[in-house]
Amino acid sequence: MKSIHLIAPSGACLDSRSPANGIDWLKRQGFSISNEACAQRIHQRFAGTDIERLSELNQLSQLSPDSLAMATRGGYGLQRLLPGIKWDAITKAIQNGAQVCGHSDFTVFHLALLAKTGAISLAGPMLNFDFGCLDEQGGLIEPSPFMWQHFQNAIEDRKLDIATQHPQNFLGESLQGLTSGILWGGNLTVLAGLVGTPYFPSDKQISGGILFLEDVNEHPYRIERMLMQLLDSGILSSQAAIMLGGFSAYRLYENDRGYNLNAAIEMIRQRLPKAIPMITGLPFGHQADKITLPVGARAQLSYQSSGFALTASW
């Protein structure tokens, strides 16, 4: 695959140098880039008006089989477009070979596409942060080799294969195991906001699944509150496994008095059925080192107290 079609369905780019640097880097890797102008659109806090962004998403139905659509960045804005998206037409393009990639606010697209058609999309890197990230002086930070390798494996070979050594402290009743299921999830805040809507996958689709979650700028008590919502609504207890990625860029306060992310996870662990493992250390989220995950594909997970392995082909 040597063709990337950019889309900007959510927030406007915060610095024009970032998308420009990302586009330049990708071109130097041999990719042709189309729709570069979307990175310059601005309407209020969004990357264009609702009409512009919706039209751009619906044009994904015209993607060639060797193209990958990549979001510029997240933020907010995709959820307000959901009723007008032509899911069946976009799915036909995906079935013909096209691919669609993003994360953060793009979780809305992943889950709605899965709910409406069952098609597979990629939770993975986006243009600005992953390919055009800037240092404090405005210079380009080279993309993570780890991210790049896993991204290539996904878009070229349609494979996920990650094994990591990371101590597991929330496995439940079994310190090792092997399971499989539909891989689904994304940004926790975005996912929780879709519960109860027509754009959230059905119980039949996700029961026995492998749910992955990440978030940014959310205090652990907010993480706990959203996980509690998913628990009390029966979503967590219907999963074969729950995988937690990066929860970054939050600040603890003096009045937390020792309460932290581990304490939040432990509270959920106590209420979750002990047969369902909670895996930590998934390299995914708002971080440089991230894997690319096929939302809607069947994956295999093996785990033990010292780490885990996650694989999929689609």
The pLDDT tens digits of the residues spanning 196-249 come to: 999 999 999 999 999 999 999 999 999 999 999 999 999 999 999 999 999 999
DSSP character for 136?
A: T
Name the catalytic one among 5, 110, 219, 286: 286
Name the catalytic one among 104, 110, 121, 218: 104
pLDDT, tens digit (0-9, with 9 covering 90-100), for 252-308? 999 999 999 999 999 999 999 999 999 999 999 999 999 999 999 999 999 999 999
Q: Which residues are CB-neighbours of 147 under 8 A, at least 6 positions away?
A: 125, 130, 288, 289, 290, 291
| 166 in catalytic set | no
C-alpha pair distances (Å), 212 with each of 188, 195, 241, 294, 295: 9, 15, 9, 11, 10
Q: How many CB atoms lie within 10 A of CB 223?
A: 21
Tokens 């809607």 correspond to 296
CATH code that applies to domain 3-143: 3.40.50.10740
What pLDDT, on the 0 to 100 scale, is given for residue 127?
98
Mean pLDDT, rounded, for 20-45: 97
Delimit the domains of the chain by residue range. Answer: 3-143, 159-313
Q: Which residues are CB-neighbours of 183 under 8 A, at least 6 positions away?
A: 209, 210, 212, 293, 294, 295, 296, 297, 298, 299, 312
What pLDDT, on the 0 to 100 scale, is given for residue 1?
64
pLDDT, tens digit (0-9, with 9 covering 90-100), for 60-104? 999 999 999 999 999 999 999 999 999 999 999 999 999 999 999
Pick the CATH number of 159-313 from 3.50.30.60, 3.40.640.10, 3.90.1150.10, 3.40.630.10: 3.50.30.60
What pLDDT, on the 0 to 100 scale, is given for residue 138?
81
Q: How many CB atoms lie within 10 A of CB 225?
A: 13
Name the catalytic one among 5, 150, 214, 219: 214
| 104 in catalytic set | yes
